[in-house]
Amino acid sequence: MTTTTANTASTETSRLGRLRHAPWLGVVVITLMFCEKMLAHTYTAITIYVLPEPWKYWIPGIVGAIGVWLVLRGMGRDEVKGSLLGYLGAVLIWMSWFESGHPLIASMAQIPTVIPEDGNVMAGLLGEHVFLQMSGLFCVVLLFFLMLNKDVRCRMLLWIRRRIGLAETIGKPTQGYRPNVSRVAAFEYIFVTWFMYVLMITIIDPRLFGLHHPVTYIASTLVSLWGLYLLYKCTQQREVGLAVRYGIGAAGVAWFIPETLAFYGWLYEFYLRVDLHPIPMAIIFALYVFCFRVLWQAPIDERTGRSAR
């Protein structure tokens, strides 16, 4: 490397380094994950509604397999790269195998759609949404038994454990135990996305209360405030790997806000029509790559495997 190249790299590292300190670190993570949500919607819309058979099955199958490979590649890596690879792998798995698989399952099971009496399709549930809602029982039960693991690190599960008085019963975490962050990030992404889908579908379910009911308004407000609080807490994180894993939960909950606004017709989901909005989607993709690069290039403390401060 020449002296000029080294100086340029040093300047760039210094410039990007400011984005890896609170509160900007949290802002970068949140931006990354909100861009991901929009890109995932674009991808899902294309695979389900645009691609012809058999490509609408082959492409998600291959992309999901790449996601599994990324999670495995992240195992044994440092906290930053392990968290990012686990997160990215889970994104590909969810939007390929789950998002593309649910409509197929609903069609094979002939699950009918649920449309409210006023005919508002946006406020209704497709067959795959009904199927996903029914899976919520399994999601909650699995989360309960996960909470009983004394080495679990999920902030929400730890909070619930303390509130219901199980902290002493379960016991203290294993001393010196360090979980594989790639697995943790992937597991967290899938469970947070699954849980929030079930929660959102249940809140707007026209068979219960529907969009225009005081219970729906109150529940939506509480979840939105929860999401905003988590976004704020994400900006307080000071270690890159931890911020990524915290951001998975924060963005997963906070994405409830734009989804709800879209249900009421207050937000136009332009990311569902990349054919009409190619430039904004190109900008979002570029911003996603930039944020990912900022986090990926974080210097690592070799003694701890975490980002150096």
Query: Per-residue pLDDT tens for 206-216?
Result: 999 888 899 99
Please state, in angstroms and rounded to a whole number, the distance separating the CA atoms of residues 84 and 48.
27
Provide the pLDDT for residue 119.
66
Please state, in angstroms and rounded to a whole number, the distance separating the CA atoms of residues 216 and 208.
9
Q: Measuring CA to CA, which residue among 20, 13, 9 is closest to residue 309?
A: 20
Please state, in angstroms and rounded to a whole number, the distance separating the CA atoms of residues 133 and 115.
15
Q: Measuring CA to CA, which residue among 230, 291, 222, 220 is closest to residue 258?
A: 220
Single-letter residue type at 75: M
**What mean pLDDT is reported for the chain?**
91
Mean pLDDT of 227-241: 96
Token pair 């994950």 in the structure block, residue: 33
Residue 103 has pLDDT above 70, yes or no: yes
Token pair 């929400």 in the structure block, residue: 156
- Element spanning 300, H or E: strand 300-301
8 A C-beta contact, residue 254 and residue 230:
yes
Provide the pLDDT for residue 13.
54
Phi and psi of 243, rounded to 5°?
A: -60, -40
Please state, in angstroms and rounded to a whole number, the distance separating the CA atoms of residues 226 and 216.
15
Provide the pLDDT for residue 11.
40
Phi and psi of 114, rounded to 5°?
A: -120, 110
Structure tokens at 94: 């969810």
Q: Report how many helices (DSSP H) and strands (DSSP E) the chain contains, helices first.
A: 14, 2
Query: Greater confidence, 303 or 68?
Result: 68
Contacts of 31 (CB under 8 A, 6+ apart): 287, 291
Structure tokens at 212: 């225009």
Token pair 């900008």 in the structure block, residue: 283
Provide the pLDDT for residue 7.
42
Please state, in angstroms and rounded to a whole number, the distance separating the CA atoms of residues 32 and 84.
11
Please state, in angstroms and rounded to a whole number, the distance separating the CA atoms of residues 27 and 20.
9
Token pair 């792998």 in the structure block, residue: 89
Q: Measuring CA to CA, which residue among 264, 240, 206, 286 is closest to residue 26?
A: 240
8 A C-beta contact, residue 169 and residue 61:
no
The pLDDT tens digits of the residues spanning 140-182 come to: 999 999 999 988 888 888 888 888 888 888 988 888 778 899 9
